[in-house]
Amino acid sequence: MTNSLAAFLTLLIGLLVCVDVIFFGSANVVFLGRKMLELLEWLAVWR
């Protein structure tokens, strides 16, 4: 992955999160954050 592609994806994700918070509140961001933490715990094979 090139630096320009990483920067573009970072800006895109940030923009989508901002649009979600502005139009739908922060409940969706919190939900996705909790699900991501559950996924990371499930994938934690190094323990």
pLDDT surpassing 90 at residue 13: yes
What is the tens place of the pLDDT at every residue in 24-41? 888 899 999 999 999 999
Domain count, the chain: 1
Residue 35 sits in which domain range? 3-43
Name the pLDDT band for 1 (thresholds 50, 70, 90): confident
Buried/exposed code over 4-19 (b: 16+ C-beta within 10 A; e: otherwise): eeeeeeeeeeeeeeee
Q: Measure the CA dihedral 6/11/44/40, to 10°.
A: -160
